[in-house]
Amino acid sequence: MSQQRQDRRSQRTQQTLMDALIALLAVKHYDEISINDIIDHANVGRSTFYAHYQGKDDLLKGGFERVLDMLIHHISFSEADQDLRLDTTQLFHHAQGHYELYRTLVWGSGFDLLTKDGHAALSAKFQESFTLHLSGKPEPSIPLVVLSYSMAGTLLILLKWWLDNKMPYSPEYMDEIFQRLVMSSAKNILGLTETIEKLN
């Protein structure tokens, strides 16, 4: 089997396992779901599961890592007007479309797991992107590692609040709040032009 086919097969298996976890979350609390529940629902063997993940928490983290990767792809930097925008709309749309998964992260032990691991991963991705985009620019007034950590924490807290309150605003409006609340200050710290539009 070619490496490409093997990679596609591995990705399909990982998605099948994540889909099984999400489906189970609709009827069970995260803490009550066992590995057997997941593999039975996904119709895969135990050895197949452990070929991809160390355990249930690892599966959960793996799914969230893919969400983080998707989010980082929406960071864009324009040399023309020195504007930096982190578009979080897709993250909120993803949470809206996978409410059971995110509900578990907020109300179950899964959120405690990702508060630590997800925060660190998101912060590192922010810092990496900012370092790349700001190469050759003057050092910001606050170290990028501190700025990135603060931004990641605020975004996760906003997401938690939104889900706690049963998503009272649209993903687009939540992104606008993030732009005003977080990116406005970040642009000032980074010495970039602010182009935040007024909230409707």
Residue 198 has pLDDT above 80, yes or no: no
| pLDDT tens for each residue of 148-157 | 999 989 998 8
The half-sphere exposure of 2 on its side-chain side, counting CA atoms within 13 A, is 3
| pLDDT tens for each residue of 124-139 | 888 888 888 777 778 8
Question: 96-105, 127-136, 167-176: lowest mean pLDDT where?
Answer: 96-105
More confident: 167 or 125: 167
Percent of the chain with pLDDT over 90: 28
- Mean residue pLDDT of the chain comes to 80
Q: Given this model, what pLDDT does residue 163 score?
A: 84
| pLDDT tens for each residue of 4-56 | 677 788 889 998 998 898 788 778 877 889 999 999 999 999 999 999 999 99
Q: Given this model, what pLDDT does residue 19 score?
A: 87
More confident: 191 or 186: 186
| Whole-model pTM over 0.85 | no
d(CA 180, CA 158): 13
Q: Given this model, what pLDDT does residue 195 score?
A: 43
